Amino acid sequence: MTVKVCAAGFCCADVYKKLDIFYPTGNGIDWGVHLARAGVPVSVVSVVGTDEYGTAMREALSAEGIDISHLRTEEGQTCVMLMDLKNGTDRVHLEAIDGVMEHYALTDEDEAFVLTHDVIHTDLFGNCLGLLPEWHEAGRTVVMDFSVFSQDPEYECEKHFPYVDYAFMSFEEDTPELRAWVKHVQGLGPKVAVATLGDKGSIAYDGERFHECGIVECPELVNTVGAGDSYIAGFTKAMLDGKDIDACMQAGAELSSKVIGLFKPY
């Protein structure tokens, strides 16, 4: 049986005005592009505006073979992240313009379409959090990127962990306190809780033990954009292929290494 995956929620255009460059992105978008390129059927459920960025995003995702039948176009501006590069490689977020993403909500048809997929990816910013219990109850595999916000009280992530199968979080250091948190997160429901640590690799807890993975060296660092999203994509593809946790983490590290050697995140 062919497994279908869906990126539901947030999408935006990263715009580097100084370089006169933009590209379609968002946690689930980057994830979906990598999986589509690996031969996995991917759909996107989100929204773009009627501006040039919305048109270009639809064209780019369609060219990747992604199903954009539920990538809605609404009157207004596509969500935009104004970006810059520090030291030539490190991304800097200058300003977020929500545009049509601000009030986006899935329709009943969108919700039914999402449930035709086996694996669903979402994040904190795509206005899909209220659907997590439904996805969980329906037996779908939920992959969620909590980014750097998993411990931020504003986002109340502990309400969402019970409905997620693979919880990904971002930190800077592997500490005893972090391991206690990752273990706590996994205990709330996820099959696996993963903490990516930038150039220090990643750790994961599966309810029995911690797994550790180092980085894969990149010959030439070009741009750190998309490193986390690509790690999750590599991990997900290996998971779909039936690989164990260590192999999934290694696949994530390998794909992330390739991506940071490119300007685009995919």
Domains and CATH numbers, the chain: 5-259 (3.40.1190.20)
Q: Token pair of 82, please? A: 């104004």
pLDDT tens sequence across 155-190: 999 999 999 999 999 999 999 999 999 999 999 999
CB atoms within 10 A of CB 19: 11
What average pLDDT is seen over the chain? 90
Q: Token pair of 19, please? A: 């370089």
**38-42, 92-96, 238-242: which has the minimum mean pLDDT?**
92-96
* Burial group, residue 123, by CB count within 10 angstroms (0-12, 13-18, 19+): buried
The answer to whether 110 and 6 are in contact (CB under 8 A) is no
pTM of the model as a whole = 0.91
